[in-house]
Structure 1
């Protein structure tokens, strides 16, 4: 095999795209991964990294361009991540996302994977300004300018985002104004060393109602109308240092909410620890006309607390949930488990069509929202508990419940190994898996395909211009399970 040196320039022909959106070429049998290169292109590349079985490189010059290469609308997209694919025409992005599933299945080879029906990706008519939520880090530069944005991939360099083509426009305007007001009122910004103050700002806007909610994450407490937020515990003494470091929010909040009348909720999250976690343990409402915002999907509305999870692309959420309902094929006799239920959205979509829905989530605020939403919608057949699915489901079975259907919508890490074992033990007759990570989906199918037939996989483009896709998997229970190595106890 050829030996490549760091800094060496080599001509390459790009053969295909990899799972992270990079171009892939081979030279004397060695794979080379090149971000921002497209299939069919001939390039001059510079080697940047050598691993045991592959190399990485960067584009120096494109000698022959792909006919599907386009000029990215967002000037800073390449600064944030090497997995953005804004340089690829949108119809070809959709084809690539179907291929993502194929690549993941080929890598992990769950039972019968070659025969799975992979349906064409469902895309957007206008794949711009689709993210209804932003969560930007705040930083004060040496010249006093306050910026907000995201960290560059694998670094601690903050990329200033004053305009982002995938971000909902009102949320962007609000965070830009927050930066200007922090400057105007000289509010403290956390610098991770000496100064304690504002660390992060979250802004989320409802597509249904236009209502906006915000969270300010601060490493010190905030004062508003002479009151300290979050309020100290009864037995907790506020230190002299904390008193000196208060973020005085009165004037900024007054000006911000006057300019943006759609802001209905502002919360503060107290996060004094130096960790990579975005949020601390305590969140309290600073300003509110109401504690939640009203969002809608399909033909129903629901309430969202500031910390509750909801899909970042509400337009495609309608598509995703409609596909999940179709895949579940609900019947009036069905008892459905909605694992990772969040505020209840997928469960509500099937509730009128089934006997009952039983959901669980580890986030207490989400369960509070789910119960309130079910009550508001008049769904008396929906029941929710806080906790882990692998703990709650066995208790339900012990209580005599026998669910016929299972909905799972896990985080990017996929299904917990204990939950996989729980599913294998009880095996409801049908299952729908909503995935946001094709790799962990393919890993989970190694186990699930022993007990379920995979009827089809429908990909949905929730994140245009990125190398990510969501997928809805329809599964039905096998008459006889396939006895293979189960591989429950694995790390993802």
Structure 2
């Protein structure tokens, strides 16, 4: 077994989903950040378990073909910041890796084997983000503003992030200067004291309008006028300065209450030929030009003719649905954030869209309400958060019997899980497209088309006996294979069907009869070890089973 602080020589042969390279030593997988496939390295082991190990590069002995020659060019904090985990790769290699991640997640987690075209590149790989939230903390007696370092809540000061517009840097300097000059208290996570938590910036790329939002642990801040003057002086394109109130003891970044300190309540951007109003709480894709490619792919999958009722779930400010509104008979959007729903309604009016209505509510609850109204959408578009569809949503959508479901997801793992759920309900995955919305990071957008159409007109009669089958795979939630794969990937542990069944019973989850288990009730069975029980429970949480 490998030992901590041991030095080993590795050849990196794969890239894991967090961007780390993977090599093998003494039969173990070793995960090493900032490495590329084909790299030969000397690595120091920083953590070792019986199943896997983690290391850091001590020396790059030779480079793989996908390694960039200027990985750290212009970014002095690349290796310490937790954002750009793929900046050391060429962009062509990054696209290859991301396309493979999507295909492998669909196959391994969803049991879906689809031919995947190459990952669509972003129109820009730098300066593409239109939104950033910078945590502000006290470190060594001084306020610092930047990003959290990898796997920590220590803030790494950032002068100029290459993913953000250059004007953001000027606003960050102005905000930090305001805090220092006026001796404004800074939030402390451990004690829940202090006032200023974060600086939230948003830019409308097409119009140039900028919003600056100070997130505070209180309902007011001192020197509001000075803050307004200093932010406007740093960036004359700033048209909206907002105070966001977040007094909760939580890691959630934004509170629900906003108050405009100066200027407009929102900014305006253009996307897919339409004009959109964006409040601080509105969801909006962070890569505008990339979003136009993403929505084009989704529209292609939707195959609209002008006769359809389109249901847009998790609609945010209405961007996806409104981009398709001219090609449908009726658009219904659903979003849980009231401010975003109001933005969507204003956006429909702003763009002369008269065939749309927007509802405020949880996607699953709203879909159920529409089902009770007798609404039968022809096409459903869903763009859920990273955790995927809410429990019960796939079943509700299936009962509505749309012809097609177009799923847009920022996490191909949860997309694979949800696609498998749709597949079990009769919606066959037929097309997939990876779209790079987040260059240089370990994130990739995925579009999946699921169709209700007949798979084959030919019918074959098949007879079989249930007594010969392992019925455990037909229980609610994830399959046993999916749970095993998740546990192995995230903890390095191998678990059996027996252990999973034991923990299901502990959690009150129904367990179907497994005809492959011992017939005797007195058969002695090994009990699941505590570390494997913990890993299985984490998988249950991930798949929404508990």
- With normalisation by structure 1, the TM-score equals 0.89
Cα deviation for residue 61 of structure 1 reads: 1.3
Of 197, 207, 210, which residue of structure 1 is paired with 2:205? 207
Q: Is the 8 A contact 1:347 1:357 kept in 2?
A: yes
Of 474, 482, 496, which residue of structure 2 is paired with 1:485? 474
In structure 2, the partner of 1:56 is 54
Cα deviation for residue 252 of structure 1 reads: 2.4
Give aligned pairs, total. Answer: 462
Could you tell me how far apart the structure 1 residues matched to 2:232 and 2:84 are?
A: 36
**Tell me, what secondary structure is at the counterpart of 1:374?**
helix
Unaligned runs of 5+ in 2: 457-470, 479-539
Change (3 A) 1:46 1:376: same
In structure 1, the partner of 2:386 is 412
In structure 2, the partner of 1:235 is none
Q: Is the 8 A contact 2:377 2:401 kept in 1?
A: no
Q: Is the 8 A contact 1:19 1:103 kept in 2?
A: no
**Tell me, what secondary structure is at the counterpart of 1:199?**
strand
**Which segment drifts farther, 416-425 or 331-340?**
416-425
Change (3 A) 1:48 1:106: farther
Q: Please show how residues 397-436 of structure 1 align to structure 2 within 5 Å.
A: 397-436=371-410
Cα deviation for residue 45 of structure 1 reads: 1.4
Question: How big is each residue's C-alpha offset from its partner over 1:57-93, in whole Å with a ceiling of 9 and x where there is no partner?
Answer: 1111111111332232222122122871100011111
Question: Is residue 68 of structure 1 aligned with residue 42 of structure 2?
Answer: no
Q: Is the 8 A contact 2:212 2:240 kept in 1?
A: yes
Change (3 A) 1:319 1:14: same
Q: Is the 8 A contact 1:370 1:384 kept in 2?
A: yes
Question: How big is each residue's C-alpha offset from its partner over 1:154-183, in whole Å with a ceiling of 9 and x where there is no partner?
Answer: 212111111111111112221222112322
Could you tell me how far apart the structure 2 residues matched to 1:408 and 1:336 are?
A: 11
Could you tell me how far apart the structure 1 residues matched to 2:204 and 2:475 are?
A: 42
Cα deviation for residue 380 of structure 1 reads: 1.5
Of 140, 154, 178, which residue of structure 2 is paired with 1:181? 178
In structure 2, the partner of 1:162 is 159
Q: Is the 8 A contact 2:167 2:235 kept in 1?
A: no
Could you tell me how far apart the structure 2 residues matched to 1:98 and 1:425 are?
A: 32
Change (3 A) 1:487 1:296: farther
Could you tell me how far apart the structure 2 residues matched to 1:410 and 1:109 are?
A: 17
Could you tell me how far apart the structure 2 residues matched to 1:207 and 1:107 are?
A: 38
Cα deviation for residue 129 of structure 1 reads: 0.8
In structure 2, the partner of 1:337 is 311
Of 257, 271, 276, which residue of structure 2 is paired with 1:282? 257
Question: Is residue 311 of structure 1 aligned with residue 253 of structure 2?
Answer: no
Across the aligned residues of Structure 1 and Structure 2, the Cα RMSD in angstroms comes to 2.1
Could you tell me how far apart the structure 1 residues matched to 2:167 and 2:107 are?
A: 41
In structure 1, the partner of 2:430 is 455
Could you tell me how far apart the structure 2 residues matched to 1:195 and 1:27 are?
A: 47
Could you tell me how far apart the structure 2 residues matched to 1:477 and 1:47 are?
A: 50
**Tell me, what secondary structure is at the counterpart of 2:406?**
strand
Question: How big is each residue's C-alpha offset from its partner over 1:443-478, in whole Å with a ceiling of 9 and x where there is no partner?
Answer: 112211232222221111111111111011122114
In structure 2, the partner of 1:465 is 440
Question: How big is each residue's C-alpha offset from its partner over 1:274-326, in whole Å with a ceiling of 9 and x where there is no partner?
Answer: 322212332211112x2211111111111111111101111201111111111
Question: Is residue 385 of structure 1 aligned with residue 356 of structure 2?
Answer: no
**Tell me, what secondary structure is at the counterpart of 2:324?**
helix
Question: Is residue 149 of structure 1 aligned with residue 124 of structure 2?
Answer: no
**Tell me, what secondary structure is at the counterpart of 1:122?**
coil
Change (3 A) 1:11 1:321: same
Q: Is the 8 A contact 1:188 1:247 kept in 2?
A: no
Q: Please show how residues 34-49 of structure 1 align to structure 2 within 5 Å.
A: 34-49=32-47
**Tell me, what secondary structure is at the counterpart of 2:161?**
coil
Q: Is the 8 A contact 2:170 2:234 kept in 1?
A: no
**Tell me, what secondary structure is at the counterpart of 1:150?**
strand
**Tell me, what secondary structure is at the counterpart of 1:153?**
coil
Cα deviation for residue 127 of structure 1 reads: 1.0
Question: How big is each residue's C-alpha offset from its partner over 1:421-463, in whole Å with a ceiling of 9 and x where there is no partner?
Answer: 2123333110111110011111112211232222221111111
Change (3 A) 1:182 1:364: same
Higher relative contact order (CA 8 A, sep 6+): 1
- With normalisation by structure 2, the TM-score equals 0.80
Of 235, 238, 257, which residue of structure 1 is paired with 2:232? 257
**Tell me, what secondary structure is at the counterpart of 2:118?**
strand
In structure 2, the partner of 1:91 is 92
In structure 2, the partner of 1:358 is 332
**Tell me, what secondary structure is at the counterpart of 2:97?**
helix
Of 235, 241, 265, which residue of structure 2 is paired with 1:266? 241
**Tell me, what secondary structure is at the counterpart of 1:254?**
helix
Change (3 A) 1:264 1:27: same
**Which segment drifts farther, 451-460 or 359-368?**
451-460
Could you tell me how far apart the structure 2 residues matched to 1:141 and 1:439 are?
A: 36
In structure 1, the partner of 2:500 is none
**Tell me, what secondary structure is at the counterpart of 1:119?**
coil
**Tell me, what secondary structure is at the counterpart of 1:203?**
strand
**Tell me, what secondary structure is at the counterpart of 1:360?**
strand
**Which segment drifts farther, 428-437 or 170-179?**
170-179
